[in-house]
Amino acid sequence: MRPLSRLSELMFPALLVAAVALLGSFTARANEIHFRTALVDVAIVVGLYVFIGNSGVLSFGQISFVAVGAFAAGLMTISADVKRGIMPDLFPILKDHSLGNVESLLLAAGLGAVFALLVGLPLMRLSGLAAGIATFAVLGITHNVLFNYTKIGPGATALTNIPETTGLLQGLVGALIAIAIAWVYQLSRFGRMLRATREDPAAAQAVGVSIHRQRLLAFTLSGALCGFAGGLFVHQAGTITTEDVYLNLTFLTLAMLVVGGVGSLLGAVVGALLISGLNSFLTTAEAGVHVLGWKIDLHDGTHLVVLGVVMALVLVVRPGGLTGGREFRLPHLLSRRRPAEART
């Protein structure tokens, strides 16, 4: 493969994301939130992709790393005076210190990585359904503890007063960092070894690839990216509850990944942008919008119904996702198309 086409695999998704951010900077202030959300969604879904896409193992647990990153970044950027007032139960070390924006994002990424490494050490021995359910159990435990343990967070109440530092620019930079890391990883020898275990575990082991070690590496990297994305998530929203980073987000981000196409970075980015955009559009449409002279005014709550139908339809029509698991390649535009490779 020529270097130019390898680079285009990075540049095309990056340009897509940049275009979305640029578009966001031209829209009305009230609509900007939709573009910021889309950028954060890209960061989360790319985090998911690094593990699920490259390993072929379905994990429901990645949102627990988003949750840990989000709560850590949120909690540590609230000023100590405020924390003493609203969360008196916190451990002193959490209560009396606070961090800046960038430090909090690094902390989120670090915590995500450490958590993923600890969880992955035993769990990465599993595969198939057992891996899916075990990672789901991790999500359940994370949610249960965050919801009830008031020494490390707000518990059942919302965490508020978080500085809203993730604007369009930070969202864009964050999403681009995630995409670049995912790209470098999938081209590295580690990424290739993991993809080899996805295609044929027996053959990969036969040439000396340790499935456990490669999966653990990707799981940890994915944990770091997800934690980082969680930091962006919380600084974008300014407020968070444990429900925001639980089942709904898990399903929505997994759906983004699968609708886009699990097997490629492009699929992750396209899926995230499309579903996030559709979600935002439908939510606004519930308040009434004009599209090409048509007045659309939907009943409250319709957006979830339409979103469910669209996701199911896309999967029925294109079970491999919109990109079919392929990356963007320049030669495809110039030469004749090659038949799609099934890569799941």
DSSP for 36-56 reads HHHHHHHHHHHHHHHHHHHH-
Q: Which is nearer to another protein, 128 or 331 (CB)?
A: 128
Helices 101-123 and 211-237 sit at what angle, rounded to 10 degrees?
150
Residue from 266, 186, 322, 188 nearest 12 by CA:
266
Q: Which of 305, 331, 338, 341 binds another protein (CB under 8 A)?
A: 305
Q: Which is nearer to another protein, 22 or 305 (CB)?
A: 305
Cβ neighbour number for residue 128 with a 10 Å cutoff: 10
Cβ neighbour number for residue 309 with a 10 Å cutoff: 10
The span from the CA of 46 to the CA of 51, in Å, is 9
The span from the CA of 184 to the CA of 87, in Å, is 41
Q: Is 341 in the site for another protein (CB under 8 A)?
A: no
Q: Which is nearer to another protein, 187 or 306 (CB)?
A: 306
Least distance between another protein and beta carbon 250 (Å): 9
Q: Which residues have a Cβ under 8 Å from the Cβ of 102 and sit 6 or more positions away? A: none
Residue from 82, 66, 80 nearest 231 by CA:
66
Least distance between another protein and beta carbon 121 (Å): 11
Residue from 79, 85, 226 nearest 163 by CA:
79
Q: Is 203 in the site for another protein (CB under 8 A)?
A: no
Compute φ and ψ for 178, nearest 5 degrees: -60, -45
Q: Which of 94, 145, 181, 285 binds another protein (CB under 8 A)?
A: 145
C-alpha pair distances (Å), 219 with each of 124, 256, 314: 8, 19, 28
Under DSSP, the state recorded for 186 is: H
Q: Segment near another protein (CB under 8 A), from 25-33, 71-79, 175-183, 247-255? A: 247-255
Q: Is 133 in the site for another protein (CB under 8 A)?
A: yes
Q: Is 144 in the site for another protein (CB under 8 A)?
A: yes
CB burial of 139-150 (b: ≥16 within 10 Å; e: otherwise) equals beebbeebbeee
Q: Which is nearer to another protein, 129 or 334 (CB)?
A: 129
Q: Which of 28, 30, 93, 129 binds another protein (CB under 8 A)?
A: 129
Q: Which is nearer to another protein, 22 or 141 (CB)?
A: 141
Q: Which of 258, 268, 269, 273 binds another protein (CB under 8 A)?
A: 258
Under DSSP, the state recorded for 31 is: G
C-alpha pair distances (Å), 14 with each of 175, 178, 227, 265, 330: 8, 10, 21, 10, 15
Least distance between another protein and beta carbon 293 (Å): 27
Site for another protein in 283-302 (CB under 8 A): 299-302
Q: Tokens in use for 208?
A: 């000396």
Q: Is 224 in the site for another protein (CB under 8 A)?
A: no
The binding track of 52-71 with respect to another protein, each residue x by CB under 8 A or -, is x-----x-------------
DSSP for 257-292 reads HHHH-TT-HHHHHHHHHHHHHHHHHHHHHTT-EEET
Site for another protein in 84-123 (CB under 8 A): 122-123
Least distance between another protein and beta carbon 275 (Å): 11
Q: Is 127 in the site for another protein (CB under 8 A)?
A: yes
Q: Segment near another protein (CB under 8 A), from 22-30, 69-77, 79-87, 306-314? A: 306-314
Least distance between another protein and beta carbon 322 (Å): 12
Interface residues toward another protein, by CB under 8 A = 52, 58, 122-123, 125-130, 132-134, 136-138, 140-141, 143-145, 147-148, 247, 251, 254-255, 258-259, 262, 299-302, 304-305, 307-309, 311-312, 315-316, 319-321, 344
